[in-house]
Every structure is written in C-alpha cells, then in structure tokens.
Amino acid sequence: MTKLSVNINKIATLRNSRGGNVPDVLKAAKDIQDFGAEGITIHPRPDERHIRYQDARDLKPIVHTEYNIEGNPIKKFIDLVLEVKPTQVTLVPDSVDAITSNAGWNTIKHRDFLKEVISEFKANNIRTSIFVDPVTEMVEGAAATGTDRIELYTEAYAVEFARGNTNGVQPYAETAALATSLGMGVNAGHDLNLENLKYFRQQLPSLLEVSIGHALISEALYMGLENVVQMYLERLR
C-alpha cells in the first residue's frame, strides 16, 4: 500500500492568520496520525508564513510515523534538517517568494550541488528525495546525485485529469518505472486529491508515498479531518 503523508502547512497558515495557537498544529499532527495517516509532511519557508522553524523542532517528538521535511536547501534549511533529523528530507527548488512549489529540479544543471547536499543528509541517516518533473533526463540526472528517492511533481497530471484526459498519467508511469529500474524509490505530490488519486495510484504500481496537503485540508472543511484521511487511505489501497 502506498503511504499517505499529510502536509499540514495549511493548518499552520490558519493559525498564523489570527495569532495564538488555534488551530494547534501539534495536536493536528497527532490526530492525523491517529486517524491512520502514515506520515506528516511540512514545508517551512524562510519567511515562516505557515510552518515555522520552531514547529519543525516541536513536531519531532509528536511524529511517530514518517516525518518528511520539504524545502529549498539553503543553509538555514540544511541546518534545521540536520538538527531535527526527520525520516526524510525532500529537496524542492522553490524561490524565496514562491506561493507554492511550481517546478522540479534541473538535476543535470544542479547535479554537483545536489550530490553534495544529499551526501551530507545521508551521512546523518536521513533519507533523501528530490522533487522532479516526469522527464526522463531529469530522473536519470537524479540517479546520478545518489538520492534515495524522487518525488514526481504531479500538477500537470492533475490539470489533465480535470480536463478528462487520463493519458496525462503516462509520463509519470514511464518515469516512475525508470526510477525504480535505477534503484530509486518513487514518491509523488502536488494537486493530488480525492478525484484523481486512485487512478494515479493504479497506474504507478511502484509508488511508495504521496504527500497531500492543500486538497486534503480543504476537503476536511466540508467532510471532517478523520473522514477525509480515511477516504484518502481507501483510494491508496
């Protein structure tokens, strides 16, 4: 079964909009795990507009499943990850002012940089993953960095699926198979939701983990967090 890691950034966004500690990010992470999710994902950004760096530290004893920290590997981020030592670090090439992640790494252009960063994380027993587009050359480039996994950036699939075009999954199926053949695990995330997740999972038999935040938290406003987590788990079975 593909693991479900829930990105709780949006819960932190709601908390920060009012100040104080409502909703409680730590309690939400605990509850989400109790509801059956197999992981918690956070993506702290330099301006801390949603998840704060202190949240990353405070979550460490709370997360008893897989703990995944995403982000651009600037020095501040690298230092945080080495301090917290999550289960997995996912490297994302987002700019400082990005609203959300919008592209995968050019793993050829940035190979040496990624190789150096990944080596440091792996030396500290932190599993590594690189955010990539479903492009053959980028997956091959990722393999050359020594990363443990890739995370396929799924926005293009989600857009095509919403238009009724299921063929949009083909590049993902092909690059996932390639990654597996090259010895890398395959994760996926971005714009996956209750409507498009099951088909995506069916077409990628090697898929190890999905990271889902915006859609899941939004759907929970209508259907309840526990119920929605269970609905996602059902689609991954």
Whether 48 is catalytic? no
Catalytic residue among 70, 151, 209, 219: 70
- Crossing angle between the packed helical segments 111-123 and 136-145, to the nearest 10 degrees: 50
Token pair 């938290």: residue: 217
Cα–Cα distance for residue pair 201/154, rounded to 1 Å: 12
Catalytic residue among 43, 151, 209, 219: 43
Whether 64 is catalytic? no
194 forms beta bridges with none
User: Which parts of the chain fold into alpha helices (H)?
Assistant: 9-18, 25-34, 53-59, 75-84, 111-123, 136-145, 155-162, 170-181, 197-203, 214-223, 225-236
Catalytic residue among 151, 190, 209, 219: 190
Cα end-to-end span (Å), the chain: 6
Cα–Cα distance for residue pair 179/57, rounded to 1 Å: 32
DSSP string for 122-139: HHTT-EEEEEE-S-HHHH
For β-strands 88-91 and 149-153, DSSP reports them as unpaired
Whether 190 is catalytic? yes
Report, as residue numbers or ranges, the catalytic residues: 43, 70, 190
